[in-house]
Amino acid sequence: MQGWAIVRGSKSFVVTHDRGRSWELQSINIPCNAGTLNVEFLSANTGVCVCPLLYVTNDVGKSWQRAKINSDNKQLTYDYLVRAISGSLIAININREKVSTLVSNNNGETWDPL
C-alpha cells in the first residue's frame, strides 16, 4: 500500500510503498512558494499540485508538468484544490471580486472552466 504526506513549510512530501514501514523524501521541483503548496495524489503514480499554478505528475512526483487548461486565461493562479464526491478535481481561485474554478474529470490531465 502506498501513501503520501506533505512536509509542512517546504516543497517536499514523503511517500511510502510498504504501508508506512519506510518513507522516502521527495522534492517538488516547481517554481512556487512552499506556503501555497496544495497536493492531491490520485493513484500510485498520479498527483496534482496547486502552487499556485496547476501541475501534474505521473511518476510519483519525480517530475511535474504544467496542466493543460482549456481556457483563455491559462495564467490565472489557484488557491485551493478539492476532490468532489463524484471524483472530479476542482481548482479554486478566490479574489476580492470573483471566484474562478476549473474542473478536471481525468485526474488532472486537462482542466475546463466550471
Q: What is the pLDDT of residue 42?
A: 85
Each residue's pLDDT, cut to its tens digit, for the chain (114 residues) gives 677 787 777 788 888 888 889 998 888 888 776 666 788 888 888 889 888 888 999 988 889 998 999 877 666 788 889 999 998 999 998 877 888 899 999 989 899 988
Q: What is the pLDDT of residue 34?
A: 60
Q: What is the pLDDT of residue 111?
A: 93
C-alpha 40/C-alpha 59 separation (Å) is 14
Torsion over CA: 87, 76, 58, 16 (sign):
negative
Quick one: DSSP state of residue 105? S
Q: How far is CA 110 from the centre of its chain?
A: 13
Q: In DSSP terms, which residues pair with 112 in a beta bridge?
A: 103
